[in-house]
Amino acid sequence: MQDVIFKVCDANKLEGEREKLLAIPAPFVTRDVESRIDPGLSLPNAKSVVVAALPYAPSPTSNLSSLAYGLDYHVDLRAILEEEATKYRDKHKCNCYIQVDSGSLAERAFAVKAGLGFWGRNGMVISPKFGSYFNIGLLVVDAILPYSKPLDSLESKCPDDCHLCLEACPRDAIGKPMDCISYHTQKKAKPSRDEICGQLYGCDICQVVCPFNATAKQNKISLNNILDMTEADFNVKYGHTAMAWRGHKHLLRNAQV
């Protein structure tokens, strides 16, 4: 199995997250806050939430996010959680619900609750082992499991004098998901040049500058390489990635912008 970390927390509502989720609208998620904080709405009689962290390699290019490289984590992480669910069903005779980016639950908030990491100033969950370079999946079960030891504090461990992510974001979008470059590269409406700031798909700027992440040398991918790419070329190079959900036309559109 890949280098995955599992943590477990209770399935009680995340009452402390309600106001924050109401105050900060986020793209591509339901506006029904109760379904984001209450596992019992995803699985009746939910008792425990198993949170999985699957690390990924940082993107080697600065204008294509890490989503554009490696296998689609939705497939990999779901397969890992399906395997875990089978073990729990066999041992506890329980029902299970799996979520990998496609459900309602606030995955990052449950990752913090389970002790996978802490909230970084950039809004990412930062793991002592992986930094912020990991994807999150949830396995909700209606059985009581041994809960993981939480972190000493759920407060951010970002140094008071570190504001690298705030200073590096070209759109001053930290804490404002609807202003994020990554959102603008993925939305259906055609973005402006000011909205995508030279990024082709996604954006990792606030992760790249973070001291908790190992820095990697990055180069920009040529716009001509994208503009000359056929749909068949795209499917060969990126069809296995999470970026494929938007497809060739979306990437071409952003390169043209």
Q: Which of 196, 206, 127, 197 lies closest to 166 in space, CA to CA?
A: 206
Contact between 115 and 93 under an 8 Å Cβ cutoff? The reply is no
C-alpha R_g of the chain? 19
Give the integer Cα–Cα distance in Å for 7 and 143: 15
CA distances from 139 to 93, 131, 223 (A): 15, 22, 40
- The active-site residue out of 10, 72, 101, 233 is 101
Does 101 qualify as catalytic in the annotation? yes
Give the integer Cα–Cα distance in Å for 113 and 77: 20
| DSSP label at residue 125 | E
- CB-side neighbour CA atoms (13 Å) of 187: 17
Which residues on adjacent β-strands are paired with residue 10? 48
Which residues on adjacent β-strands are paired with residue 138? 51, 99
Residues noted as catalytic: 101
